[in-house]
Amino acid sequence: MQKENINKSSSNPLSFGEGWGEAIRADFPILQREVYGKPLIYLDNAATTQKPRSVVESINHEYYSVNANVHRGVHFLSQQATELHEASREAVRRFINAKSTNEIVFTRGTTESINLLAFSFGEAFLAEGDEVIISTMEHHSNIVPWQLLAARKGVAIKVIPINDKGELLIDEYKTLFSERTKLVSIVHVSNVLGTINPIKEIVQIAHAHEVPVLIDGAQSVPHIPVDVQELDVDFYAFSAHKIYGPTGIGVLYGKEKWLDALPPYQGGGEMIQTVTFEKTTFNELPFKFEAGTPDYIGTTALAKALEYVNAIGLKNIAEYEHELTQYATQQLKQIDKLRIFGEAEHKSSVISFLVGDIHHFDMGTLLDRLGIAVRTGHHCAQPLMQRMGVEGTVRASFAFYNTKEEVDFLAAGIERVAKMF
């Protein structure tokens, strides 16, 4: 049985077998805590993931020993901080297999990445009457930026419908294209339904119309291997905090040819080459899109998180989480009057449900009293809730550190709450 703390052996990945769960859980101190005198069962990983020691220690270490502002500093610390920051960009590049670090823009998260693109792409390429395609299962952060753009520029938004299992209707998608379609922006994995969308096919269809594609990868990058070159996506967005990294850091990947063609999103330091009162020239990629002091402590910690995930292996993670989600689905389905929302053939580790007419908020609050952390509400996907005919759901979302035992607690907890109504 492998019991070694992964941080001490990150170059030597854990064997993926009996006992690996225990060893991994030991790397996440928060998982050992209790709430209301009960062991914490953390099943809100789609909202944010917990952080391994190596990530938290990286933040402490850099503030204690390396802290200095990055880029253009002549002194030792600044150069060291810059090296760490740029090494993190390389770590991200490798993680998603981008061609070049020029294609990796650091942002505050998925939301900012999408807003950046909506603004810059909108400025450069969209005019009144042009169209953007999104889908019914988008998070608000892949709806509202397009609505803001629509209000600013008179752009139309077209929406791909879904079936009752929570899958995109690809034939309907094909019919949405017109000569005015300028961009497709789609979620890779739904944060409510867990559906894994067929991105390669979606991209191929869009490219056949010479339309570029942005993918919201907030819920995919932590759970399934993503290769942006293989998917041939034009843009890809994700957040560090959902992949065991710190809050406040995210990534926008963009093919160099596209990023080159786009104007800056924000102005300030870092993103310029020369400034006079008459004219400013912009910095090269990716700095053109990174105005102001970046969160260089956060980028180093993100690289640590990716190192941790690499040590376990995303294939192992995907396999384990798939098994755990299938087990949870079976257990939950045995509960009287429990309805699951999202039964796509290809599904990630999210289960949204309701039991009878018990309000999702009541279910979540009472599960919390048993030490079980789930999310309730519309999950920032109100149009999807309308499609499903509900106001909200309860959502349990799993990570590789969750166990079958925790799933059993969840199932027993739901039954206990149900009996109270």
**Which residues in this chain contact ligand PLP in the complex, by CB under 6 A?**
46, 109-111, 139, 141, 187, 191, 216, 218-219, 239
Supply 18's token pair: 């009996």
Burial of 76 (0-12, 13-18, 19+ CB in 10 A): exposed
| CB contact at 8 A, 227 and 215 | no
In angstroms, what is the minimal distance from the CB of 221 to ligand PLP?
Answer: 11
Closest to 301 in 3D by CA, of 130, 103, 58: 58
* Residue corresponding to tokens 């843009």: 235
Sequence-distant (≥ 6) Cβ neighbours of residue 64 within 8 angstroms: none
In the complex with ligand PLP, which residue's Cβ is closer, 328 or 381? Answer: 381
In the complex with ligand PLP, which residue's Cβ is closer, 26 or 186? Answer: 186
In angstroms, what is the minimal distance from the CB of 117 to ligand PLP?
Answer: 13
In the complex with ligand PLP, which residue's Cβ is closer, 46 or 309? Answer: 46
In the complex with ligand PLP, which residue's Cβ is closer, 141 or 316? Answer: 141
Closest to 107 in 3D by CA, of 260, 253, 268, 243: 253
In the complex with ligand PLP, which residue's Cβ is closer, 26 or 218? Answer: 218
In angstroms, what is the minimal distance from the CB of 180 to ligand PLP?
Answer: 26
| CB contact at 8 A, 37 and 388 | no
Coil/strand/helix, residue 170? helix
Task: Give the β-pairing of 213-216 and 280-282.
Answer: unpaired
Which of 68, 148, 380, 412 is the catalytic position?
A: 380
In angstroms, what is the minimal distance from the CB of 372 to ligand PLP?
Answer: 19
12 classed as catalytic: no
Coil/strand/helix, residue 281? strand
In angstroms, what is the minimal distance from the CB of 37 to ligand PLP?
Answer: 30
- Positions annotated as catalytic residues are 380
